[in-house]
Protein backbone atom coordinates (compact mmCIF):
# COMPACT_ATOMS: atom_id res chain seq x y z
CA UNK A 1 0.00 0.00 0.00
CA UNK A 2 2.77 2.41 0.91
CA UNK A 3 4.40 2.22 -2.47
CA UNK A 4 1.29 2.06 -4.59
CA UNK A 5 -0.79 4.84 -3.12
CA UNK A 6 1.12 7.91 -4.37
CA UNK A 7 1.01 6.58 -7.91
CA UNK A 8 -2.71 6.00 -7.54
CA UNK A 9 -3.08 9.69 -6.75
CA UNK A 10 -0.79 10.72 -9.60
CA UNK A 11 -2.31 8.42 -12.18
CA UNK A 12 -5.30 10.55 -13.30
CA UNK A 13 -3.09 13.56 -13.96
CA UNK A 14 -0.55 11.47 -15.88
CA UNK A 15 -3.26 9.85 -18.00
CA UNK A 16 -4.87 13.19 -18.80
CA UNK A 17 -1.61 14.87 -19.71
CA UNK A 18 -0.38 12.03 -21.87
CA UNK A 19 -3.75 11.79 -23.60
CA UNK A 20 -4.02 15.52 -24.27
CA UNK A 21 -0.36 16.36 -24.66
CA UNK A 22 1.56 13.31 -25.80
CA UNK A 23 -1.03 11.94 -28.19
CA UNK A 24 -1.71 15.18 -30.07
CA UNK A 25 2.04 15.73 -30.23
CA UNK A 26 2.45 12.44 -32.10
CA UNK A 27 -0.58 13.26 -34.24
CA UNK A 28 0.77 16.71 -35.01
CA UNK A 29 4.14 15.36 -36.14
CA UNK A 30 2.38 12.75 -38.26
CA UNK A 31 0.01 15.19 -39.94
CA UNK A 32 2.79 17.68 -40.63
CA UNK A 33 4.81 15.04 -42.47
CA UNK A 34 2.15 12.96 -44.21
CA UNK A 35 0.05 13.79 -47.24
CA UNK A 36 -2.46 11.79 -49.27
CA UNK A 37 0.18 9.21 -50.19
CA UNK A 38 2.55 8.74 -47.28
CA UNK A 39 5.53 10.79 -46.23
CA UNK A 40 5.79 14.25 -47.73
CA UNK A 41 7.49 17.55 -47.14
CA UNK A 42 4.89 19.40 -49.19
CA UNK A 43 3.35 21.10 -46.14
CA UNK A 44 6.75 22.41 -45.12
CA UNK A 45 7.50 23.63 -48.62
CA UNK A 46 4.16 25.38 -48.65
CA UNK A 47 4.87 26.91 -45.25
CA UNK A 48 8.34 28.15 -46.14
CA UNK A 49 7.06 29.38 -49.51
CA UNK A 50 4.55 31.55 -47.68
CA UNK A 51 5.94 35.09 -47.32
CA UNK A 52 4.00 35.52 -44.07
CA UNK A 53 5.89 32.72 -42.34
CA UNK A 54 9.37 34.21 -42.45
CA UNK A 55 7.99 37.60 -41.50
CA UNK A 56 6.18 35.97 -38.60
CA UNK A 57 9.36 34.24 -37.46
CA UNK A 58 11.31 37.49 -37.69
CA UNK A 59 8.61 39.48 -35.88
CA UNK A 60 8.29 36.94 -33.09
CA UNK A 61 12.04 36.86 -32.46
CA UNK A 62 12.27 40.66 -32.64
CA UNK A 63 9.41 41.01 -30.20
CA UNK A 64 11.09 38.67 -27.72
CA UNK A 65 14.49 40.32 -28.04
CA UNK A 66 13.00 43.76 -27.39
CA UNK A 67 10.21 43.09 -24.92
CA UNK A 68 11.74 40.58 -22.50
CA UNK A 69 14.85 42.55 -21.42
CA UNK A 70 12.89 45.80 -21.12
CA UNK A 71 10.30 44.01 -19.02
CA UNK A 72 12.92 42.61 -16.67
CA UNK A 73 14.50 46.05 -16.18
CA UNK A 74 11.09 47.67 -15.65
CA UNK A 75 9.99 44.96 -13.25
CA UNK A 76 13.15 45.26 -11.15
CA UNK A 77 12.61 49.02 -11.04
CA UNK A 78 8.99 48.57 -9.99
CA UNK A 79 9.94 46.03 -7.32
CA UNK A 80 12.54 48.43 -5.92
CA UNK A 81 9.94 51.19 -5.85
CA UNK A 82 7.65 48.90 -3.85
CA UNK A 83 10.57 48.11 -1.55
CA UNK A 84 10.97 51.84 -0.85
CA UNK A 85 7.47 51.76 0.68
CA UNK A 86 5.81 54.66 -1.10
CA UNK A 87 2.54 56.12 0.01
CA UNK A 88 -0.59 54.22 -1.16
CA UNK A 89 1.66 51.21 -1.81
CA UNK A 90 -1.21 48.75 -1.83
CA UNK A 91 -3.19 50.85 -4.30
CA UNK A 92 -0.22 51.06 -6.63
CA UNK A 93 0.42 47.34 -6.20
CA UNK A 94 -3.16 46.50 -7.14
CA UNK A 95 -3.06 48.58 -10.32
CA UNK A 96 0.33 47.21 -11.31
CA UNK A 97 -1.02 43.68 -11.00
CA UNK A 98 -4.30 44.15 -12.83
CA UNK A 99 -2.79 43.25 -16.23
CA UNK A 100 -2.00 39.78 -14.81
CA UNK A 101 -5.62 38.85 -15.34
CA UNK A 102 -6.11 40.68 -18.62
CA UNK A 103 -6.12 38.53 -21.72
CA UNK A 104 -3.90 39.20 -24.69
CA UNK A 105 -6.89 39.99 -26.84
CA UNK A 106 -8.27 42.53 -24.39
CA UNK A 107 -4.82 44.14 -24.11
CA UNK A 108 -4.67 44.46 -27.89
CA UNK A 109 -8.12 46.05 -27.98
CA UNK A 110 -7.21 48.46 -25.18
CA UNK A 111 -4.21 49.74 -27.09
CA UNK A 112 -6.24 49.81 -30.29
CA UNK A 113 -8.38 52.52 -28.71
CA UNK A 114 -5.16 54.52 -28.26
CA UNK A 115 -3.21 53.79 -31.44
CA UNK A 116 -6.17 53.72 -33.81
CA UNK A 117 -6.03 56.35 -36.57
CA UNK A 118 -8.82 58.23 -34.82
CA UNK A 119 -7.72 57.06 -31.39
CA UNK A 120 -6.65 58.89 -28.27
CA UNK A 121 -2.97 59.27 -29.13
CA UNK A 122 -3.65 60.88 -32.51
CA UNK A 123 -6.35 63.04 -30.93
CA UNK A 124 -3.79 64.25 -28.41
CA UNK A 125 -1.16 64.89 -31.09
CA UNK A 126 -3.58 66.83 -33.27
CA UNK A 127 -5.09 68.89 -30.49
CA UNK A 128 -1.60 69.79 -29.25
CA UNK A 129 -0.78 70.83 -32.80
CA UNK A 130 2.13 68.38 -33.04
CA UNK A 131 0.76 66.72 -36.13
CA UNK A 132 -1.66 67.65 -38.87
CA UNK A 133 -3.72 64.49 -39.18
CA UNK A 134 -2.04 62.20 -36.71
CA UNK A 135 0.37 59.32 -37.37
CA UNK A 136 -0.81 56.15 -39.06
CA UNK A 137 0.51 53.91 -36.29
CA UNK A 138 -1.12 50.74 -37.56
CA UNK A 139 -0.64 51.23 -41.28
CA UNK A 140 0.52 48.01 -42.93
CA UNK A 141 3.42 49.84 -44.55
CA UNK A 142 4.81 51.05 -41.21
CA UNK A 143 6.36 47.88 -39.82
CA UNK A 144 8.38 49.92 -37.34
CA UNK A 145 5.38 51.67 -35.77
CA UNK A 146 3.41 48.41 -35.77
CA UNK A 147 6.27 46.77 -33.90
CA UNK A 148 6.31 49.72 -31.51
CA UNK A 149 2.59 49.43 -30.75
CA UNK A 150 2.80 45.67 -30.20
CA UNK A 151 5.85 46.13 -27.98
CA UNK A 152 4.07 48.74 -25.86
CA UNK A 153 0.95 46.60 -25.57
CA UNK A 154 3.03 43.57 -24.56
CA UNK A 155 4.99 45.65 -22.04
CA UNK A 156 1.74 46.83 -20.55
CA UNK A 157 0.18 43.39 -20.40
CA UNK A 158 2.99 41.15 -19.25
CA UNK A 159 5.37 43.23 -17.14
CA UNK A 160 3.17 42.44 -14.13
CA UNK A 161 4.11 38.77 -14.28
CA UNK A 162 7.84 39.55 -14.14
CA UNK A 163 7.08 42.15 -11.45
CA UNK A 164 5.33 39.63 -9.23
CA UNK A 165 8.17 37.11 -9.62
CA UNK A 166 10.78 39.77 -8.83
CA UNK A 167 8.79 41.04 -5.82
CA UNK A 168 8.70 37.49 -4.48
CA UNK A 169 12.44 37.30 -5.01
CA UNK A 170 13.11 40.64 -3.32
CA UNK A 171 11.04 39.60 -0.31
CA UNK A 172 13.29 36.60 0.19
CA UNK A 173 16.43 38.74 0.47
CA UNK A 174 17.14 39.57 4.12
CA UNK A 175 17.06 43.33 4.64
CA UNK A 176 20.23 43.13 6.72
CA UNK A 177 22.41 42.68 3.64
CA UNK A 178 21.26 45.95 2.14
CA UNK A 179 21.48 47.72 5.50
CA UNK A 180 24.99 46.43 6.07
CA UNK A 181 26.09 47.73 2.69
CA UNK A 182 24.45 51.05 3.56
CA UNK A 183 26.33 51.25 6.84
CA UNK A 184 29.58 50.73 4.99
CA UNK A 185 28.71 53.67 2.76
CA UNK A 186 27.69 51.97 -0.47
CA UNK A 187 25.67 54.19 -2.79
CA UNK A 188 22.31 53.13 -4.15
CA UNK A 189 23.80 51.93 -7.44
CA UNK A 190 26.59 50.02 -5.69
CA UNK A 191 24.05 48.29 -3.46
CA UNK A 192 21.92 47.43 -6.46
CA UNK A 193 24.87 46.14 -8.46
CA UNK A 194 26.67 44.19 -5.74
CA UNK A 195 23.94 43.18 -3.29
CA UNK A 196 20.42 43.14 -4.68
CA UNK A 197 20.94 41.96 -8.25
CA UNK A 198 23.25 39.04 -7.46
CA UNK A 199 20.80 37.81 -4.80
CA UNK A 200 17.92 38.22 -7.24
CA UNK A 201 19.80 36.14 -9.82
CA UNK A 202 17.72 32.96 -9.69
CA UNK A 203 14.40 34.85 -9.77
CA UNK A 204 15.54 36.93 -12.71
CA UNK A 205 16.66 33.86 -14.60
CA UNK A 206 13.32 32.15 -14.13
CA UNK A 207 11.39 35.29 -15.03
CA UNK A 208 13.48 35.76 -18.14
CA UNK A 209 12.94 32.26 -19.46
CA UNK A 210 9.28 32.05 -18.47
CA UNK A 211 8.56 35.33 -20.19
CA UNK A 212 10.43 34.18 -23.30
CA UNK A 213 8.27 31.08 -23.50
CA UNK A 214 5.11 33.11 -22.98
CA UNK A 215 6.17 35.77 -25.47
CA UNK A 216 6.61 33.04 -28.06
CA UNK A 217 2.91 32.32 -27.68
CA UNK A 218 1.77 35.90 -28.12
CA UNK A 219 -0.51 36.50 -31.05
CA UNK A 220 -3.87 37.98 -30.08
CA UNK A 221 -2.29 41.33 -29.21
CA UNK A 222 -0.98 41.71 -32.75
CA UNK A 223 -4.19 40.25 -34.17
CA UNK A 224 -6.31 42.84 -32.37
CA UNK A 225 -4.01 45.72 -33.26
CA UNK A 226 -3.04 44.96 -36.84
CA UNK A 227 -4.91 41.91 -38.11
CA UNK A 228 -2.45 39.88 -40.17
CA UNK A 229 -0.34 42.91 -41.10
CA UNK A 230 2.06 42.13 -38.27
CA UNK A 231 2.17 38.31 -38.31
CA UNK A 232 3.45 36.33 -35.33
CA UNK A 233 4.17 32.59 -35.28
CA UNK A 234 1.21 31.40 -33.23
CA UNK A 235 -0.98 33.82 -35.18
CA UNK A 236 0.06 31.91 -38.29
CA UNK A 237 -1.16 28.66 -36.70
CA UNK A 238 -4.46 30.40 -36.17
CA UNK A 239 -4.57 31.77 -39.74
CA UNK A 240 -3.72 28.43 -41.34
CA UNK A 241 -6.22 26.53 -39.25
CA UNK A 242 -9.19 28.87 -38.85
CA UNK A 243 -8.99 31.08 -41.94
CA UNK A 244 -7.17 28.96 -44.54
CA UNK A 245 -8.57 25.66 -43.18
CA UNK A 246 -5.33 23.74 -43.61
CA UNK A 247 -4.68 21.68 -40.45
CA UNK A 248 -1.51 20.07 -41.83
CA UNK A 249 0.35 23.34 -42.37
CA UNK A 250 -1.11 24.66 -39.11
CA UNK A 251 0.43 21.64 -37.36
CA UNK A 252 3.75 22.39 -39.05
CA UNK A 253 3.74 25.95 -37.67
CA UNK A 254 2.76 24.58 -34.27
CA UNK A 255 5.77 22.25 -34.39
CA UNK A 256 8.10 25.14 -35.17
CA UNK A 257 6.78 26.99 -32.09
CA UNK A 258 7.11 23.82 -30.03
CA UNK A 259 10.71 23.21 -31.05
CA UNK A 260 11.76 26.77 -30.26
CA UNK A 261 9.99 26.61 -26.88
CA UNK A 262 11.47 23.20 -26.14
CA UNK A 263 14.95 24.70 -26.36
CA UNK A 264 13.92 27.47 -23.98
CA UNK A 265 12.08 25.04 -21.73
CA UNK A 266 15.13 22.82 -21.28
CA UNK A 267 17.01 25.91 -20.17
CA UNK A 268 14.10 26.69 -17.84
CA UNK A 269 14.13 23.24 -16.28
CA UNK A 270 17.85 23.41 -15.66
CA UNK A 271 17.56 26.76 -13.88
CA UNK A 272 14.51 25.75 -11.86
CA UNK A 273 15.85 22.39 -10.81
CA UNK A 274 19.36 23.42 -9.92
CA UNK A 275 18.64 25.59 -6.87
CA UNK A 276 16.36 22.87 -5.49
CA UNK A 277 19.09 20.30 -5.86
CA UNK A 278 21.54 22.63 -4.14
CA UNK A 279 19.27 23.04 -1.16
CA UNK B 1 14.38 74.14 22.18
CA UNK B 2 15.89 77.51 23.09
CA UNK B 3 16.26 76.56 26.74
CA UNK B 4 18.24 73.52 25.73
CA UNK B 5 20.66 75.39 23.54
CA UNK B 6 21.32 78.08 26.11
CA UNK B 7 23.67 76.15 28.42
CA UNK B 8 25.90 75.33 25.48
CA UNK B 9 26.08 78.96 24.44
CA UNK B 10 26.65 79.97 28.00
CA UNK B 11 29.60 77.66 28.14
CA UNK B 12 31.04 79.51 25.21
CA UNK B 13 30.82 76.54 22.88
CA UNK B 14 28.90 77.21 19.69
CA UNK B 15 27.12 74.17 18.33
CA UNK B 16 28.01 73.23 14.76
CA UNK B 17 25.26 74.15 12.32
CA UNK B 18 22.74 71.37 11.83
CA UNK B 19 23.52 69.51 8.64
CA UNK B 20 20.19 69.29 6.86
CA UNK B 21 21.61 67.80 3.67
CA UNK B 22 20.87 64.13 4.48
CA UNK B 23 17.33 65.01 5.48
CA UNK B 24 16.79 66.96 2.30
CA UNK B 25 18.30 64.16 0.24
CA UNK B 26 15.94 61.73 1.88
CA UNK B 27 12.93 63.91 1.18
CA UNK B 28 14.01 64.39 -2.41
CA UNK B 29 14.43 60.66 -2.77
CA UNK B 30 10.97 59.98 -1.37
CA UNK B 31 9.50 62.50 -3.78
CA UNK B 32 11.22 60.78 -6.70
CA UNK B 33 9.94 57.38 -5.58
CA UNK B 34 6.45 58.82 -5.32
CA UNK B 35 6.66 60.39 -8.76
CA UNK B 36 7.95 57.17 -10.33
CA UNK B 37 5.16 55.17 -8.70
CA UNK B 38 2.57 57.56 -10.03
CA UNK B 39 4.12 57.35 -13.51
CA UNK B 40 3.96 53.53 -13.54
CA UNK B 41 0.42 53.59 -12.18
CA UNK B 42 -0.62 56.01 -14.91
CA UNK B 43 0.89 53.72 -17.54
CA UNK B 44 -1.00 50.75 -16.10
CA UNK B 45 -4.32 52.44 -15.35
CA UNK B 46 -4.74 55.08 -18.04
CA UNK B 47 -5.35 52.61 -20.91
CA UNK B 48 -8.06 50.90 -18.86
CA UNK B 49 -9.70 54.26 -18.13
CA UNK B 50 -9.52 55.18 -21.81
CA UNK B 51 -11.14 52.00 -23.09
CA UNK B 52 -13.75 52.35 -20.36
CA UNK B 53 -14.51 55.85 -21.59
CA UNK B 54 -14.68 54.59 -25.18
CA UNK B 55 -17.08 51.87 -24.15
CA UNK B 56 -19.51 54.33 -22.59
CA UNK B 57 -19.33 56.92 -25.37
CA UNK B 58 -22.15 57.25 -27.82
CA UNK B 59 -21.55 56.26 -31.42
CA UNK B 60 -21.22 59.91 -32.49
CA UNK B 61 -18.75 60.63 -29.71
CA UNK B 62 -16.64 57.66 -30.84
CA UNK B 63 -16.51 58.95 -34.40
CA UNK B 64 -15.34 62.40 -33.31
CA UNK B 65 -11.79 63.44 -34.19
CA UNK B 66 -9.82 64.77 -32.44
CA UNK B 67 -11.43 62.98 -29.53
CA UNK B 68 -11.64 64.86 -26.23
CA UNK B 69 -10.43 62.99 -23.14
CA UNK B 70 -13.93 62.83 -21.72
CA UNK B 71 -16.51 61.81 -24.33
CA UNK B 72 -18.87 64.56 -25.41
CA UNK B 73 -21.86 62.30 -25.00
CA UNK B 74 -22.29 59.30 -22.70
CA UNK B 75 -24.44 56.40 -23.66
CA UNK B 76 -24.70 52.68 -23.11
CA UNK B 77 -25.56 52.01 -26.74
CA UNK B 78 -22.02 50.78 -27.52
CA UNK B 79 -22.01 48.25 -24.71
CA UNK B 80 -25.60 47.26 -25.41
CA UNK B 81 -24.83 46.74 -29.09
CA UNK B 82 -21.94 44.48 -28.10
CA UNK B 83 -24.09 42.35 -25.81
CA UNK B 84 -26.91 42.24 -28.34
CA UNK B 85 -24.59 41.19 -31.18
CA UNK B 86 -25.18 37.61 -32.27
CA UNK B 87 -23.23 35.14 -30.23
CA UNK B 88 -22.11 37.38 -27.38
CA UNK B 89 -24.49 36.15 -24.67
CA UNK B 90 -24.14 32.43 -25.53
CA UNK B 91 -20.36 32.91 -25.72
CA UNK B 92 -20.42 34.53 -22.27
CA UNK B 93 -22.36 31.54 -20.99
CA UNK B 94 -19.88 29.14 -22.60
CA UNK B 95 -16.97 31.02 -21.07
CA UNK B 96 -18.44 30.76 -17.58
CA UNK B 97 -19.32 27.08 -18.06
CA UNK B 98 -15.88 26.19 -19.41
CA UNK B 99 -14.25 28.11 -16.57
CA UNK B 100 -16.29 26.36 -13.88
CA UNK B 101 -15.83 22.89 -15.41
CA UNK B 102 -12.11 23.52 -15.82
CA UNK B 103 -11.80 24.54 -12.17
CA UNK B 104 -13.71 21.42 -11.13
CA UNK B 105 -11.80 18.93 -13.24
CA UNK B 106 -8.36 20.38 -12.66
CA UNK B 107 -8.98 20.22 -8.90
CA UNK B 108 -10.37 16.69 -9.05
CA UNK B 109 -7.42 15.47 -11.11
CA UNK B 110 -4.71 17.84 -9.88
CA UNK B 111 -5.30 18.12 -6.13
CA UNK B 112 -4.67 14.40 -5.42
CA UNK B 113 -1.43 14.64 -7.37
CA UNK B 114 -0.48 17.75 -5.41
CA UNK B 115 -1.28 15.90 -2.18
CA UNK B 116 0.89 12.97 -3.23
CA UNK B 117 3.79 15.30 -4.03
CA UNK B 118 3.40 17.09 -0.69
CA UNK B 119 3.05 14.03 1.57
CA UNK B 120 4.85 11.09 0.01
CA UNK B 121 8.46 10.41 -0.77
CA UNK B 122 8.56 7.85 -3.54
CA UNK B 123 10.70 6.70 -6.40
CA UNK B 124 9.98 8.59 -9.60
CA UNK B 125 8.83 11.72 -7.77
CA UNK B 126 11.61 13.67 -9.39
CA UNK B 127 10.78 12.53 -12.91
CA UNK B 128 7.11 13.31 -12.33
CA UNK B 129 8.02 16.84 -11.26
CA UNK B 130 10.21 17.32 -14.32
CA UNK B 131 7.35 16.04 -16.49
CA UNK B 132 4.93 18.52 -14.89
CA UNK B 133 7.33 21.43 -15.34
CA UNK B 134 7.96 20.44 -18.96
CA UNK B 135 4.24 20.36 -19.77
CA UNK B 136 3.89 23.70 -18.04
CA UNK B 137 6.74 25.25 -19.99
CA UNK B 138 5.65 24.08 -23.42
CA UNK B 139 3.00 25.99 -25.32
CA UNK B 140 0.49 23.15 -25.31
CA UNK B 141 -2.21 25.32 -26.85
CA UNK B 142 -0.50 25.03 -30.22
CA UNK B 143 -1.29 21.34 -29.96
CA UNK B 144 -4.97 22.16 -30.19
CA UNK B 145 -4.65 21.84 -33.96
CA UNK B 146 -4.00 18.07 -33.93
CA UNK B 147 -6.34 17.86 -30.93
CA UNK B 148 -9.12 19.35 -33.02
CA UNK B 149 -8.69 16.54 -35.56
CA UNK B 150 -8.88 14.02 -32.73
CA UNK B 151 -11.97 15.67 -31.31
CA UNK B 152 -13.62 15.56 -34.74
CA UNK B 153 -13.04 11.82 -34.87
CA UNK B 154 -14.29 11.32 -31.30
CA UNK B 155 -17.33 13.45 -32.08
CA UNK B 156 -16.71 15.98 -29.31
CA UNK B 157 -15.52 18.77 -31.60
CA UNK B 158 -17.24 22.13 -31.08
CA UNK B 159 -18.51 21.39 -27.57
CA UNK B 160 -17.99 23.00 -24.20
CA UNK B 161 -16.51 19.64 -23.16
CA UNK B 162 -13.74 19.88 -25.78
CA UNK B 163 -12.70 23.35 -24.62
CA UNK B 164 -12.85 22.14 -21.01
CA UNK B 165 -10.48 19.29 -21.85
CA UNK B 166 -7.96 21.64 -23.49
CA UNK B 167 -8.14 24.12 -20.61
CA UNK B 168 -7.89 21.39 -17.97
CA UNK B 169 -4.68 20.11 -19.52
CA UNK B 170 -3.43 23.66 -19.68
CA UNK B 171 -4.27 24.34 -16.03
CA UNK B 172 -3.26 20.95 -14.63
CA UNK B 173 0.49 21.53 -14.11
CA UNK B 174 -0.11 24.81 -12.30
CA UNK B 175 -2.88 23.24 -10.21
CA UNK B 176 -0.59 20.37 -9.18
CA UNK B 177 2.19 22.78 -8.22
CA UNK B 178 -0.09 25.16 -6.32
CA UNK B 179 -1.98 22.44 -4.46
CA UNK B 180 1.30 20.74 -3.55
CA UNK B 181 2.52 23.98 -1.97
CA UNK B 182 -0.81 24.39 -0.16
CA UNK B 183 -0.76 20.86 1.27
CA UNK B 184 2.87 21.22 2.34
CA UNK B 185 1.74 24.19 4.44
CA UNK B 186 -0.80 22.03 6.35
CA UNK B 187 1.11 20.46 9.26
CA UNK B 188 1.49 16.67 9.08
CA UNK B 189 0.98 16.45 12.86
CA UNK B 190 -2.70 17.31 12.55
CA UNK B 191 -3.23 14.56 10.05
CA UNK B 192 -1.34 12.08 12.20
CA UNK B 193 -3.35 13.13 15.26
CA UNK B 194 -6.56 12.43 13.35
CA UNK B 195 -5.23 9.01 12.44
CA UNK B 196 -4.29 8.33 16.06
CA UNK B 197 -7.88 9.07 17.03
CA UNK B 198 -9.12 6.49 14.60
CA UNK B 199 -9.54 8.20 11.25
CA UNK B 200 -8.45 6.29 8.19
CA UNK B 201 -5.92 7.99 5.96
CA UNK B 202 -8.68 9.05 3.58
CA UNK B 203 -10.88 10.40 6.40
CA UNK B 204 -7.95 12.32 7.85
CA UNK B 205 -7.28 13.90 4.48
CA UNK B 206 -10.93 14.76 3.94
CA UNK B 207 -11.85 16.00 7.42
CA UNK B 208 -8.62 17.66 8.50
CA UNK B 209 -6.46 18.58 5.52
CA UNK B 210 -9.09 19.74 3.05
CA UNK B 211 -10.82 22.23 5.40
CA UNK B 212 -7.45 23.70 6.36
CA UNK B 213 -6.38 23.93 2.74
CA UNK B 214 -9.67 25.44 1.60
CA UNK B 215 -8.65 29.12 1.34
CA UNK B 216 -5.63 28.17 -0.72
CA UNK B 217 -7.67 25.87 -2.89
CA UNK B 218 -10.17 28.67 -3.49
CA UNK B 219 -7.38 30.99 -4.58
CA UNK B 220 -5.99 28.31 -6.84
CA UNK B 221 -9.48 27.89 -8.35
CA UNK B 222 -9.70 31.57 -9.18
CA UNK B 223 -6.29 31.31 -10.79
CA UNK B 224 -7.48 28.41 -12.94
CA UNK B 225 -10.65 30.26 -13.84
CA UNK B 226 -8.67 33.30 -14.98
CA UNK B 227 -6.45 31.05 -17.08
CA UNK B 228 -9.45 29.51 -18.77
CA UNK B 229 -11.27 32.84 -19.13
CA UNK B 230 -8.31 34.37 -20.97
CA UNK B 231 -7.30 31.46 -23.17
CA UNK B 232 -7.97 32.20 -26.83
CA UNK B 233 -6.16 29.99 -29.32
CA UNK B 234 -7.28 26.60 -28.01
CA UNK B 235 -10.86 27.77 -27.59
CA UNK B 236 -10.92 29.16 -31.13
CA UNK B 237 -9.42 26.07 -32.73
CA UNK B 238 -11.56 23.37 -31.12
CA UNK B 239 -14.89 25.14 -31.56
CA UNK B 240 -16.93 26.43 -34.44
CA UNK B 241 -20.20 27.73 -33.07
CA UNK B 242 -19.83 27.11 -29.34
CA UNK B 243 -17.20 29.79 -28.84
CA UNK B 244 -16.05 31.20 -25.54
CA UNK B 245 -16.19 34.97 -25.21
CA UNK B 246 -12.58 35.79 -26.19
CA UNK B 247 -12.77 33.34 -29.11
CA UNK B 248 -16.04 34.94 -30.21
CA UNK B 249 -14.55 38.44 -30.07
CA UNK B 250 -11.41 37.30 -31.91
CA UNK B 251 -13.28 35.68 -34.78
CA UNK B 252 -15.72 38.58 -35.04
CA UNK B 253 -12.84 41.06 -35.16
CA UNK B 254 -12.47 41.15 -38.95
CA UNK B 255 -15.97 42.42 -39.62
CA UNK B 256 -16.44 44.24 -36.33
CA UNK B 257 -17.05 47.95 -35.98
CA UNK B 258 -14.76 50.03 -33.78
CA UNK B 259 -17.56 50.32 -31.26
CA UNK B 260 -17.82 46.52 -31.01
CA UNK B 261 -14.06 46.21 -30.48
CA UNK B 262 -13.91 48.77 -27.69
CA UNK B 263 -17.00 47.42 -25.95
CA UNK B 264 -15.63 43.88 -26.31
CA UNK B 265 -12.25 44.86 -24.93
CA UNK B 266 -13.87 46.57 -21.96
CA UNK B 267 -16.17 43.63 -21.28
CA UNK B 268 -13.16 41.29 -21.26
CA UNK B 269 -11.27 43.53 -18.83
CA UNK B 270 -13.99 44.04 -16.22
CA UNK B 271 -13.64 40.56 -14.65
CA UNK B 272 -9.85 41.05 -14.44
CA UNK B 273 -10.34 44.03 -12.10
CA UNK B 274 -12.47 41.86 -9.81
CA UNK B 275 -10.16 38.82 -9.97
CA UNK B 276 -7.09 40.78 -8.97
CA UNK B 277 -8.94 42.59 -6.19
CA UNK B 278 -10.02 39.23 -4.74
CA UNK B 279 -6.64 37.58 -5.28
CA UNK B 280 -4.46 40.42 -4.03
CA UNK B 281 -3.29 38.59 -0.90
CA UNK B 282 -2.25 35.52 -2.84
CA UNK B 283 -0.66 37.19 -5.87
CA UNK B 284 2.98 37.23 -4.84
CA UNK B 285 2.84 33.75 -3.36
CA UNK B 286 1.04 32.12 -6.21
CA UNK B 287 2.31 33.80 -9.35
CA UNK B 288 5.63 34.81 -7.88
CA UNK B 289 6.91 31.88 -5.86
CA UNK B 290 5.00 28.68 -6.49
CA UNK B 291 4.61 29.07 -10.20
CA UNK B 292 7.96 30.32 -11.25
Does A167 lie at the interface with B, CB-CB under 8 angstroms? yes
For residue A186, the domain's CATH number is 1.10.3720.10
Pair type for strands A38-39 and A34-35: antiparallel
pLDDT category of residue A276 using cuts at 50, 70 and 90? very low
Question: Range with the lowest mean pLDDT among A119-128, A130-139, B169-178?
Answer: A130-139
Task: Give me the number of domains chain A comprises.
Answer: 1
Q: B115 or A202: which carries more pLDDT confidence?
A: B115
Which comes out higher in pLDDT, residue B286 or A111?
Answer: A111
pLDDT in tens, A143-195: 888 888 999 999 999 898 888 888 888 888 888 888 888 888 888 888 888 88
Q: Nearest-CA neighbor of A29 among A39, A14, A37?
A: A39
Burial A161-194 (b: 16+ CB within 10 A, else e): bbbbbbbbbbeebeeeebeebeeeebeeeebbee
pLDDT number for residue A66: 92
Do the Cβ atoms of B59 and A104 come closer than 8 Å? no
Residues pairing with A38 in the sheet? A35
| % of chain A at pLDDT higher than 70 | 96
Task: Say what the pLDDT of residue B120 is.
Answer: 82
Q: Identify which of B130, B26, B174 has the alpha carbon closest to the alpha carbon of residue A182.
A: B26
pLDDT at A52 over 50: yes
Q: Is the pLDDT of residue A270 over 90?
A: no
Length of chain B: 292
Residue A150 lies in a domain: yes
List b or e across B80-98, with b for residues whose CB sees 16 or more CB atoms inside 10 angstroms. eebeebebbeebeebbbbb
The mean of the pLDDT values for chain A is 83
**CA-to-CA distance for A3 and A6, rounded, in angstroms?**
7
Do A13 and B120 lie within an 8 Å CB cutoff? no
* Alpha helix ranges (H) inside A18-142: 23-33, 42-49, 51-83, 89-97, 104-115, 120-127
Q: Is A71 on the interface with B (CB under 8 A)?
A: no
Confidence band for A273, pLDDT divided at 50, 70 and 90? low
pLDDT (average), residues A33-53: 79
Q: With an 8 Å Cβ cutoff, are A16 and B145 in contact? A: no
Give the mean model confidence (pLDDT) for residues A120-146: 80
- Residues facing A217 on adjacent strands: none
* Residue A100 clears pLDDT 70, i.e. is over it: yes
**Mean per-residue pLDDT, A225-232:** 83
CB contact under 8 A, B40 and A78: yes
Give the Cα separation of A196 and A180 in Å (integer): 12
**Whole-prediction pTM:** 0.84
User: Considering the domain boundaries, does residue A212 fall inside one?
Assistant: yes
Cis peptide before B66 (omega within 30 of 0): yes
Residue A71, pLDDT above cutoff 60:
yes
Of residues A88, A100, A111, nearest to B47 (C-beta): A111
> Is A120 part of a structural domain of the chain?
yes
Between A106 and A36, residue with greater pLDDT: A106
A39 beta partners: A34
Do residue B109 and residue A13 have CB atoms under 8 angstroms apart?
yes
CB-based contact A27 B67, cutoff 8 Å: no
Of A81, A108, A254, the CB nearest to B142: A254
Low-confidence residues in chain B, pLDDT < 50? 1-3
At a CB cut-off of 8 Å and minimum separation 6, what does A30 contact?
none
- Residue A84 CA to residue A77 CA, distance in Å, equals 11
Count Cβ atoms below 10 Å from residue A10 Cβ, excluding itself.
Answer: 25
Give the range of the structural domain holding residue A132, as residue numbers without chain letter. Answer: 54-278
Q: Would you say A161 and A213 are in contact if contact means Cβ atoms under 8 Å apart?
A: no
CB of A262 within 8 Å of any CB in chain B?
Answer: yes
Q: Does residue A155 sit within a domain?
A: yes
Chain A to chain B Cβ contacts (< 8 Å): 291
The number of angstroms, rounded, from the C-alpha of B288 to the middle of its chain's C-alpha atoms is: 12
Whether the CB of A73 is below 8 Å from some CB of chain B: the reply is: no
Higher model confidence: residue B68 or residue A15?
Answer: A15
**What one-character-per-residue DSSP string does B89-152 give?**
HHHHHHHHHHHHHHHHHHHHHHHHHHHHHHH---TTHHHHHHHHHHHHHS-GGGGHHHHHHHHH
Q: Alpha helices, DSSP H only, in chain B?
A: 2-10, 21-55, 59-63, 77-84, 88-119, 125-137, 144-154, 160-185, 188-196, 201-204, 210-230, 233-237, 245-252, 258-279, 283
Amino acid sequence: MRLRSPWLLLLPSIVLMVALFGWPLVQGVLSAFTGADGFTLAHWERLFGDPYFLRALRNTLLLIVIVVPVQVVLAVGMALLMQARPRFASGHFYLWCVPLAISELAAGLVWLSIFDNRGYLNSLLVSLGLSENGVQWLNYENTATMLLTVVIAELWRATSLVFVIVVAGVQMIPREYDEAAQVFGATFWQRLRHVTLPLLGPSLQVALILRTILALQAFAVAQALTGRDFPLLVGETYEWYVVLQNPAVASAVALVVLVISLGTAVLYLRTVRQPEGAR
Amino acid sequence: MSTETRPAEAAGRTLPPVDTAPLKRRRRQAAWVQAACIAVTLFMALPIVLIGLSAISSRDALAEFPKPFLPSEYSFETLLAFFEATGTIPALGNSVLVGVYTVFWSLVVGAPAGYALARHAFRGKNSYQVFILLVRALPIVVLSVPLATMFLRLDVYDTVFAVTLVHTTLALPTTVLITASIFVAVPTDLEEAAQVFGCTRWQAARKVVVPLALPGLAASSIFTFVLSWNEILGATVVTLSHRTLPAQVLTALDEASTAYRFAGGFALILPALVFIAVMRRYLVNMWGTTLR
